[in-house]
A and B are shown apart, each in its own frame.
Chain A
Amino acid sequence: MSGGLAIEAKGLFKAFDGKPAVNGIDLQVPRGSIYGILGPNGAGKTTTLRMLLGIIEPDRGSRTLLGRDRPLDAAREVGYLPEERGLYPSMHCREAIAFMGALRGLPLDVGRKRGDALLRDNGLGDYAAKPIKSLSKGMAQTVQLFGTIVHQPKLVVLDEPFSGLDAINQGRLEQLIRDEAAAGTTVIFSTHVIHHAERLCERIAIIADGSVRFEGEVAAARDRLRPQVRLRTRQKDGAWRAALPAEAVQKGEVWHFELPLQGVEPLLKALMDGGAGIEELSIERPGLHDAFVQIAGESAARQIERDQLADLEAAQ
């Protein structure tokens, strides 16, 4: 099984001061995929990633990273961007990128050349010989990201990579993640921003309170909810009302309800036969946000919204 998996975790458990932070997490990240770990702050995402990378040891459970039981054995094939970004402020950008590559076994001169190319290709060529402390927070984060991928790893682990970036840099990062995946690199990232996961990921794990509530394809998460129907009719009452499910809710002149299991055609026929006088009928596929609310619960959904708001304020 591990042959096709970049990461496989079974029953990871970690407690701090007797309080479980991660409570029996199972993950399967296919090679070459973009995988998102979605959950509010404090859900256990960072602790999970740190255990996967071997920075901390799990109290229980096992994990393999690129087929190796000891994560540090795979360190040269892994790139990691921690949530709390860390660079030496006095180091020049080129040197910082080369240093991070050298930590993963890339010769310094090769790291410098690749660093120059990455900076130049992303409009930061003028900063190659400037110290990190002279950069803005977003630029420094970009430099660290280049340091994370400079050794061309097989697996890139990004902890809250969009945090602290403005909209333009978030877009660039999304593109970079897509480019890495297109080159065959497995990318796993944690986020509390649902639309990043929705736009980028093939598979996700939804984590809340230290445990995985859902693990699988994004489409499968959305498919857990029935499509939502919006209906507006000329007739306010009549036989057609029998076609609506019992849970249907009327807001103003519009009815909202889940599409019945029988599908859209029987519903449409019953409405027409009942003389509803359809003015508007739309069927919307639920988004990942709706799936998240349903899977993780209202409380986690409210928390994730607060986290996103805090992120926006921080970026501004």
Chain B
Amino acid sequence: MSSIMEAAWVIARRDFIASVYTRSFIFFMLTPLLVVGFSILIGFVSARSDMEDIPVVAVIADSETANALDQARAHLTSLTSERAFPLLRRIDAADNVGAQARILLADEDAGLSGVFSGTLERPVLSGPERIDEFVGERMTLLVEQAQRSAALATASPDFRPAAIQRDITGEAVGNLREIRTGVARFGQFIIFFFTLLLATMLLSNLIEEKSNKVIEVLAAAVPLDAIFLGKLMAMLAVSLVGIALWGGVFALTAAFSLQLLPEGVELPAISPAVGWGVYAILLPIYYTMNYMLLGSLFLGIGAQANSVREVQTLNMPVTFLQMGVFVLAMLVVGNKGGILPMIAYIFPFTSPLAMIAEAGQSPALWPHLLAIAWQALWVFLIIRISAGMFRRTVLKSGGELRIMPRLSLGRRRG
């Protein structure tokens, strides 16, 4: 076993250096930044697009009425959303408001859906006979809200809402469940995201050795298990370099941000069920297990490919396989009991994602020891099977497929 680890270390070291000391590694390291930047861009474009989609109504009224409408809109959108009410645009009144409204509604640049004029007592909404249902209904709500506010203010000018007295208790179950569900999803997403980036790299990992014919040199010198394990270790190390860098950046940014918080501001008490200390240990372990399980599978699948083109063909099904694993593992979040969550805990490829979610939701520790041992067993089995398949089909070795000294698959030959 020690010679396998020694050989795996030689392979891993070569692969790690070959991956890290390249210009393309800089782009690899920038991937999270690109993803974040892309997300921000999408969000910005989407927000702009959302704002552009909101109907606009012109308000031709005195400032008191216009202010009342603005306040009513602000109040109602705070209870719902920005998109729930038309945008209001103030326009100075002309001599003939009726004619002005018609001109405005016909103006391509203005792009108005309606024109409000008059006062709160005598409101007028100009627009086509079949005015947009949304605009009509929501403008009515706005006017009514403004009218109610005005009536309330008139009834009692000194009106002040009574302060709500707080009765502080322990954590409410509903809140705690919500927080833990959030932590569970966070852990799953982090592991899924970083593993997803590596899948395609692992698929093509043995193509280099096959095309350079180095595989013959390696196979004559060290066990194939060591080659597979070494390659997995190298890519794990590469990914850990990336995670360490971006984790460090995130930690520094968070620490700096905390310093900038105004005094007295308290952060919400977010904590996984097992506590942050244990969670901080379990997260990298389950990341490693998830990576090793999927990585050994993808390395084994990719090792069967004869060309880069074949690997490219495999990319899409492999990506969807990962999506499927992620979706199945998501079923355990907030869900107690049932056959599918149970499958997610037991099925080797979903087990790490399901168990990190479990760490967020449940304080029990023994299931983690069991799960890690179970997952490690499957890593061992998949590497053995992948290496055996590679020997039989790529090296054309034939012979029996040995998984363990006394356990073999396939027909004994010779």
**Cβ-neighbour of A86 out of B214, B223, B414 (below 8 A):** B214
What sequence of 0s and 1s flags, for each residue 196-234 of chain B, a beta carbon within 8 Å of any chain A beta carbon?
000000000000110011111111111100000000000
Decide if A103 touches B212 in the complex (CB within 8 Å). Answer: no
Residues in A neighbouring B10, C-beta threshold 8 A = 99, 102-103
Decide if B414 touches A103 in the complex (CB within 8 Å). Answer: no
Complex-state Cα separation, A104 to B220, whole angstroms: 10
What sequence of 0s and 1s flags, for each residue 75-102 of chain A, a beta carbon within 8 Å of any chain B beta carbon?
1001010101111111100000001101
**Which of A52-60, A177-185, A206-214, A308-316 makes up part of the contact surface?**
A52-60
B55 interface residue (CB < 8 Å to A):
no
Decide if A75 touches B398 in the complex (CB within 8 Å). Answer: no
**Cβ-neighbour of B414 out of A16, A60, A89, A105 (below 8 A):** A60
Decide if B221 touches A80 in the complex (CB within 8 Å). Answer: yes
Chain B count of residues within 8 A CB distance of the other chain: 27
Residues in A neighbouring B213, C-beta threshold 8 A = 82, 84-86
**Could you tell me the distance in whole angstroms from the C-beta of B387 to the nearest C-beta in chain A?**
12
Decide if B220 touches A80 in the complex (CB within 8 Å). Answer: yes
Complex-state Cα separation, A13 to B414, whole angstroms: 9
Decide if B395 touches A56 in the complex (CB within 8 Å). Answer: yes
Chain A count of residues within 8 A CB distance of the other chain: 33
Complex-state Cα separation, A254 to B214, whole angstroms: 55
Main secondary structure of the interface of B (DSSP, over half): helix
A125 interface residue (CB < 8 Å to B):
no
Complex-state Cα separation, A80 to B391, whole angstroms: 18
Complex-state Cα separation, A82 to B395, whole angstroms: 13
A264 interface residue (CB < 8 Å to B):
no
Complex-state Cα separation, A82 to B217, whole angstroms: 7
Interface residue ranges of B1-38 to A (CB < 8 Å):
6-7, 10, 14, 18
Decide if A53 touches B220 in the complex (CB within 8 Å). Answer: yes
Decide if B221 touches A104 in the complex (CB within 8 Å). Answer: yes
Decide if A84 touches B220 in the complex (CB within 8 Å). Answer: no
Residues in A neighbouring B6, C-beta threshold 8 A = 105
A61 interface residue (CB < 8 Å to B):
yes
A72 interface residue (CB < 8 Å to B):
yes
Decide if A82 touches B14 in the complex (CB within 8 Å). Answer: no
B324 interface residue (CB < 8 Å to A):
no
**Could you tell me the distance in whole angstroms from the C-beta of B230 to the nearest C-beta in chain A?**
10
Residues in B neighbouring A91, C-beta threshold 8 A = 14, 18
Decide if A86 touches B217 in the complex (CB within 8 Å). Answer: yes
**Cβ-neighbour of A16 out of B208, B217, B396 (below 8 A):** B396
Assuming A58-B414, A59-B414, A88-B14, is B395 touching A103 (CB within 8 A)?
no
Closest B residue by C-beta to A21: B396
Decide if A100 touches B217 in the complex (CB within 8 Å). Answer: yes
Assuming A75-B221, A103-B222, is B216 touching A55 (CB within 8 A)?
yes
What sequence of 0s and 1s flags, for each residue 106-138 of chain A, a beta carbon within 8 Å of any chain B beta carbon?
000000000000000000000000000000000
**Could you tell me the distance in whole angstroms from the C-beta of A150 to the nearest C-beta in chain B?**
12
**Could you tell me the distance in whole angstroms from the C-beta of A96 to the nearest C-beta in chain B?**
10
Decide if A103 touches B397 in the complex (CB within 8 Å). Answer: no
Complex-state Cα separation, A102 to B8, whole angstroms: 11
Complex-state Cα separation, A54 to B414, whole angstroms: 15
**Could you tell me the distance in whole angstroms from the C-beta of A44 to the nearest C-beta in chain B?**
14
The 3 closest A-B pairs by CB, nearest first: A86-B213, A57-B399, A56-B397
16 contacts across the A-B interface (CB closer than 8 A): A53-B220, A55-B220, A56-B395, A56-B397, A56-B399, A59-B413, A72-B223, A82-B220, A86-B209, A86-B214, A87-B212, A88-B212, A91-B18, A100-B221, A103-B221, A105-B6
Seen from chain A, the residues whose Cβ lies within 8 Å of a Cβ on chain B are 13-14, 16, 53-61, 72, 75, 78, 80, 82, 84-91, 99-100, 102-105, 144, 147
